[in-house]
Amino acid sequence: MSADDLASKLSQSGIPQSSRSTIINSIIKHLLDSAESEGKGSVNNSVATGDTSATVADAADDIKLALSNIGQLSPGHPLVQRIQRDTGIQDPQKATQYTQQTLSAMKEHANENPERMRSLFRSLRMVKEVKDQQQNSDGSFLHDGYDSF
């Protein structure tokens, strides 16, 4: 399943079509980044890597838990701010509303189609890993212009 398939579920939400996939991808990236910063490496390593020792039910539960753990959204929430940055939505209230609607759709989809949701997380995780590898391929650990003296 792609983010586009999930975005089509949001067709009646009032979220502009041009923003739907970006919001979905931003939510997943936020969850993956949050898990990495907590030292977990991913929402759940079995979800991200496709480890077959974990059941689909376990992976779906992990995704549902991660989505639920985002907490109460407000214009100051890091996820809402990320959505604003990634989509260019200027109004913080609209960004909060769109994020909440998308989270609800993602939770519903995780209940209805756990394997497809797991696949979506896994594919975005792989894209992120490839980008990280490309960024670090020059051997430099400094990427802010400070690696030359």
Measured distance CA(41)–CA(22) in Å, rounded = 23
Sign of the torsion formed by the C-alpha atoms of 88, 93, 94 and 96 = positive
Q: What is the pTM of this model?
A: 0.71
Q: Residue 60 has what pLDDT?
A: 59
Per-residue pLDDT of the chain (149 residues; tens, 9 = 90+): 456 667 777 888 889 988 998 999 899 889 888 877 766 544 444 444 444 444 445 555 788 888 888 989 999 999 999 999 999 999 999 999 999 999 999 988 888 888 888 888 887 777 766 666 666 665 555 555 544 44
Q: Say if residues 66 and 77 touch (Cβ distance below 8 Å).
A: no
Measured distance CA(95)–CA(56) in Å, rounded = 32
Q: Residue 59 has what pLDDT?
A: 55
44-66 per-position pLDDT tens digit: 444 444 444 444 455 557 888 88
Report the 10 Å Cβ neighbour count for 34: 16
